[in-house]
Amino acid sequence: MDNSKIGHHISEQFNKELEDVRNKVMAMGGLVEQQLELAIEALITGNIEQAEFVIGQDNQIDTLEVAIELECTQILALRQPTAFDLRLLLAVIKIVHELERIGNKAKRIAEMAVKLSSHTNAMPKHDMDRMVELVKAMLDNALDAFARMSIEEIPAITERDQKVDREYENIVRLLITHMMEDPRNITRFLDVMTTVRALERVGDHARYICEHLVFMIKGENVRHLTQEELVDKINQPR
């Protein structure tokens, strides 16, 4: 589907309102991506100042969520849209919620970056590398799919979530070994575990964004489906 789906309204003003909502979601997505990037970087380098910058910026994301949701609710009340426009607004309310949750995880990672700053060697950096790349790509591609209003790439994005889960389990196993070998540092390894779980959850929320996109474009609820069922639904003609 191309963006021309938006733009068929008799009311020029209504078109502008929907375009405005979409642009705000994309701006919010950009900010959330930046927060995640900076938080992970601060974690790896032990840069406390950068981590605190991320923590301080989190309320901007909360504010954006509330503002975009309000805008959607007002459009629903005033324009009483149906079909695609209704789904677009309902999906946006859910997508900004997922973005807020991802922002929250970025803040959590930044908080852990502060706690772990003098123990950056406690991070299994090498083992986390792959997971970090997978999660960042999931978020980036999900936002890209929203911008293009296309669900073509979604099976590839959600498939990556399964890889993230496997990487997560491997890292947890590794951390348990470290804890057993060095019980005095259990608290530190638990902080690392919290960090890695936050990252794993970012992958989940990126997948949920994809599910909301499928609802928006195909009008089908694809929550609680397996990867195979999801792919089937996406490939079904409407």
Cβ within 8 Å of residue 96, ≥6 positions away: 25, 28, 64, 65, 68, 69
The residue length of the chain stands at 238
Q: Are 16 and 67 in contact (CB under 8 A)?
A: no
Q: Which stretch binds its own copies (CB under 8 A): 59-67, 113-121, 139-147, 159-167?
A: 59-67
H/E element, 152: none
Of positions 62, 129, 152, 169, contacts its own copies by CB under 8 A = 62
Q: Are 107 and 55 in contact (CB under 8 A)?
A: yes
Q: How far is the CB of 105 from its own copies (least distance, A)?
A: 14
Identify the residue whose tokens are 């959330």.
Answer: 32
Binding mask 86-105 for its own copies (x = CB under 8 A): xx--x--x------------
Binding mask 166-205 for its own copies (x = CB under 8 A): ----------x--xx--xx-xx--x---------------
Return the residues of window 64-83 that contact its own copies according to CB under 8 A: 65-66, 69-70, 73, 76-77, 80, 82-83
Cα 108 from Cα 216, distance rounded (Å):
30
Cβ within 8 Å of residue 159, ≥6 positions away: 227
Q: How far is the CB of 179 from its own copies (least distance, A)?
A: 5
Cα 30 from Cα 23, distance rounded (Å):
11
- 122 contributes a contact to its own copies by CB under 8 A: no
Summarize as ranges the residues that interact with its own copies (CB under 8 A).
59, 62, 65-66, 69-70, 73, 76-77, 80, 82-83, 86-87, 90, 93, 176, 179-180, 183-184, 186-187, 190, 221, 223-224
